[in-house]
């Protein structure tokens, strides 16, 4: 009778001993993010052997240097600015026309608990890196570096370049870039799941019909241990696009929030993006933007207070006709700023506007001015476009395209 019990006990002990090994066979999203970011994964991760590859070690050194420079040059200063100027941020932040730019969303609104990023770029996927041929790892890491080269150099993504980089190789789309930014921002990823919005803005399973918007939901935590949620949706933000989808209806369930608009190609200056422009004005307690965001003429002046920082030098040459006389007048009383942002990324040329909606019974229902408001007048001759810095990577033939985020 005792022998079978010993056999059972021995078998159970062997099974328990095997459990850690089974767990170690699983590549977590957090370990994948750390690996792509050039940071060591957890000690028992199957990705650890790949970190001995010279290509990964070079990748890690490159990102260590690049992100250290970014932290010193911009991110630490942005966080200090936000702490000094944002009194009571809302739990939700909206970042339209963002691409995968979580790192600036986090720097400006680090206290948010829900981030909603949206742009045309596809969500993509991140495969199990242990299943890739070793020879493909180096190329995959290089594609990640290329995808981040402009945002690390200029503070925004170059759209035309990103369209190529985010479709290259096994690792594609915005998801791997979000992974890198989360890891390098000191976040721990807990879950990652695809999400689909139906035409009513309801999160549904795969197979939604016409007008479905696809994206990803990432839950993560920072050093404070608070669980936060990041949504990224690949969607068309033009009038026809948002009217045909449930994206803004989904956003309404999270409103009111705060908004960030940066390097947005001046899209909301034109008539084809009035719906998303009015959504931001109606559903934002604060808006942080550069001059590529919402023109002053569309703010209800009795409902908003403006706090300008930096210097308004006008748009760069790639965006003619977007000069705002009202912006120039507003920035005559601007406070100094010690970091650069947007297309005018040099500190002495950059402009940043903090717009705060006044509290009241009608908060969340403030109307934009009439749709037929006059377009901003063309500017007189403006300063020359800034010379581009030496990027981390050589540009493609014909140089960089400036259009981007």
Express each pLDDT in 237-258 by its tens digit: 999 999 999 999 999 999 999 9
State percent of the chain over pLDDT 90: 61
Per-residue pLDDT tens over the stretch 276-295: 999 999 999 999 999 999 99
Say what the pLDDT of residue 391 is.
Answer: 41
Cα of 118 vs its chain's centroid, Å: 8
Question: Is residue 392 scored above 70 in pLDDT?
Answer: no
Say what the pLDDT of residue 285 is.
Answer: 96
Mean pLDDT of 317-345: 93
Average model confidence (pLDDT) for the chain? 82
Say what the pLDDT of residue 154 is.
Answer: 54
Considering Cα of 167, then 170, then 173, then 176, what sign does the dihedral take?
Answer: negative
List, in order, residues 6 or more apart from 94 with CB less than 8 Å away.
116, 251, 257, 258, 259, 260, 280, 283, 284
Question: Is residue 16 scored above 50 in pLDDT?
Answer: no
Question: Is residue 299 scored above 50 in pLDDT?
Answer: yes
Of 80 and 367, the one with more pLDDT: 80
Say what the pLDDT of residue 107 is.
Answer: 96
The pLDDT-based confidence of 152 (bands split at 50, 70, 90) is low
The whole-angstrom separation of Cα 67 and Cα 112 is 22
Say what the pLDDT of residue 207 is.
Answer: 61
Mean pLDDT of 344-353: 91
Let me know: does 352 contact 337? Beta carbons within 8 Å: yes
**Tokens (6 digits) for 147:** 């995808």
Question: Is residue 397 scored above 50 in pLDDT?
Answer: no
List, in order, residues 6 or more apart from 174 with CB less than 8 Å away.
99, 100, 119, 121, 122, 123, 124, 166, 232, 234
Range of lowest pLDDT (153-167, 263-277, 381-395): 381-395
Per-residue pLDDT tens over the stretch 162-220: 444 545 556 778 999 999 999 999 999 999 999 999 999 999 866 666 678 999 999 99
The pLDDT-based confidence of 359 (bands split at 50, 70, 90) is confident
Mean pLDDT of 69-80: 94
- Closest Cα partner for 223 from 194, 190, 185? 185
Model pTM score: 0.82
Let me know: does 152 contact 392? Beta carbons within 8 Å: yes
């Amino acid at each position: 009778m005792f022998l079978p019990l010993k056999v059972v006990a021995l078998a159970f002990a062997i099974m328990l001993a095997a459990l850690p090994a089974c767990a170690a066979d699983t590549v977590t999203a957090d370990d994948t993010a750390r690996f792509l970011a050039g940071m060591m994964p957890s000690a028992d991760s199957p990705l650890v052997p790949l970190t001995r590859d010279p290509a990964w070690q070079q990748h890690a050194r490159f990102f260590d240097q690049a992100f250290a420079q970014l932290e010193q040059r911009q991110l630490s200063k942005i966080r200090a600015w936000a702490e000094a100027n944002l009194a009571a941020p809302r739990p939700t932040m909206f970042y339209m026309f963002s691409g995968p730019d979580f790192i600036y969303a986090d720097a400006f609104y680090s206290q948010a608990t829900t981030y909603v990023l949206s742009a045309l770029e596809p969500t993509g996927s991140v495969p199990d890196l242990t299943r890739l041929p070793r020879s493909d790892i180096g190329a995959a890491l290089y594609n990640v570096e290329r995808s981040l080269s402009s945002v690390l150099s200029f503070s925004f993504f170059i759209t035309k370049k990103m369209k190529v980089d985010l479709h290259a190789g096994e690792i594609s789309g915005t998801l791997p870039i979000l992974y890198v930014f989360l890891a390098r921002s000191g976040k721990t990823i807990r879950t990652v799941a695809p999400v689909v919005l139906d035409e009513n803005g309801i999160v549904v399973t795969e197979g939604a019909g016409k007008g479905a918007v696809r994206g990803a939901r990432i839950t993560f935590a920072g050093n404070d241990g608070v669980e936060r949620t990041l949504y990224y949706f690949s969607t068309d933000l033009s009038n026809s696009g948002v009217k045909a989808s449930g994206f803004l209806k989904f956003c309404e369930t999270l409103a009111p929030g705060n908004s960030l608009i940066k390097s947005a190609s001046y899209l909301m200056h034109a008539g084809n993006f009035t719906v998303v422009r009015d959504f931001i004005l109606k559903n934002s307690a604060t808006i942080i933007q550069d001059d590529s965001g919402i023109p002053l003429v569309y703010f209800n002046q009795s409902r908003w207070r403006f706090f300008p920082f930096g210097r308004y030098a006008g748009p760069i040459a790639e965006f003619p006709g977007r000069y705002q006389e009202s912006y120039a007048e507003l920035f005559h009383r601007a406070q100094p700023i010690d970091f650069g942002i947007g297309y005018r990324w040099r500190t002495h040329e950059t402009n940043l506007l903090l717009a705060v909606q006044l509290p009241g019974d009608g908060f969340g229902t403030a109307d934009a001015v009439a749709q037929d408001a006059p377009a901003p007048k063309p500017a007189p001759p403006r300063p020359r476009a800034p010379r581009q810095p030496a990027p981390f990577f050589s540009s493609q033939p014909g140089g960089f395209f400036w259009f981007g985020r």
